[in-house]
Amino acid sequence: MIKTTPFHERLDQLNESQRWGHWSGYLSALKYGMSPKHEYFAVRNSAGFFDTSPLYKHRISGRDAERLLAGVMARDIRHCRPGRAQYTVWCDDRGFLLEDGVVFRHSESDFLLTAAEPNFGYLSDLAGGLDVTIEDVTDEFGMLAVQGPRSRTILAKLAPEVEKLSYFEHTDAKMGKAPVTISRTGYTGDLGYEVRVARDDALAVLDAVIEAGEGHGLRPFGEEALLMTRIEAGLVLINVEFSSSRYAYTDHDRITPKELGLGWMLKGIDADDRPFIGREAIRRELAERTSRWATVGLVVDWADYDRVYDQAGLIPPKDETPQEYDSMLYDDAGERIGYATSLMYSPMLQRHIALARVRPALAAAGTRVNLELTINHHYETVAAEVTRLPFFNPPRKMA
């Protein structure tokens, strides 16, 4: 049975296109109007709101909650103080990713984990005899992401606390009479916040946000616009940039944090007081330099891109719709050296960009590669250049 989120009644009224997808068993808007590009520009130029309620939400509490999370997560949760959140990953014994998510720390012994896939059974099995309680509270809350350069101004009308929130901090507040938790987080790479609210109060909070956004260009945006922003922000997506090791048939479909560009999470991995799952395998990978891939950004050479289409008698397409499938990469000798996982035309950068995996020796910014395209039913390659991620990183995101 397909479920609806706590905000659905209002979002259904706003959805002129009536284009819906299925996300973790919930209806989720793909786009609200006829063009997701308009929704995308609302996020980049003013503000937009997105329903993130389908994310799984697990509360981990009790005297040993920190101990459990420190033994599971690759990033050290002990460095996350109450009132802050951490983006993190967790791995199997071989150091391959199982999933990524965000942990919100509310107190010394109370945490909330949000993730794209369910992890209740996994965490419960690991808890063993620890003094910890794990609850699936996914259906109890709505989550609303308010993103874009005017998001702070809009939300401050309802909860002045947002004015003082730093990047990845969260606070309890009230919007009207409704208790909420507001975090300075999001999946757009822009200034943004997420509001968590009890199911029964969700519609009242959404209506208050919409009212506060009048005159600021606030509009709803769907998954298609969200995926555009996340590629520009260099943010990875499960089942696109990586697959969970739980479901992979071979190691070709598995990846380590280092290979996924998340090596920065591994600070302190040599400290012997936190033997998290996969630690020894990851330490060997780092010490022996056995990483198979490096995750990088690519910027396509626009002149070469136009050339191959011109020669084929075609108008060079500038389509912002993300292509989330493998596009092969080659060196000048024609040897395969990697592949792009997500490719799109960036409306902000006015260039074709991609998230990609290349051999580690080719990961330096400025390295030339050749990206494979299909034109008139045969393969062509166009020049592209390796660049650092993210592509889009405005100062306002963290200011």
170 contacts 85 by C-beta, under 8 angstroms: yes
DSSP one-letter code for 138: G
Identify any residues that bridge with 242 across adjacent strands, giving them in sequence order: 238
**CA end-to-end span of the chain:** 43
372 has binding-site annotation: no
Looking up tokens 């166009």, which residue turns up? Answer: 382
Q: Are strands 218-220 and 47-51 parallel, antiparallel or unpaired?
A: parallel
294 contacts 358 by C-beta, under 8 angstroms: yes
Nearest to 258 by CA among 285, 235, 228, 229: 285
Amino acid at 359: R
The Cα–Cα gap between 381 and 388 comes to: 22
The Cα–Cα gap between 78 and 361 comes to: 34
352 contacts 303 by C-beta, under 8 angstroms: no
The Cα–Cα gap between 105 and 231 comes to: 27
Q: Which residues contribute to the annotated binding site for substrate?
A: 194
Q: Which residues contribute to the annotated binding site?
A: 194
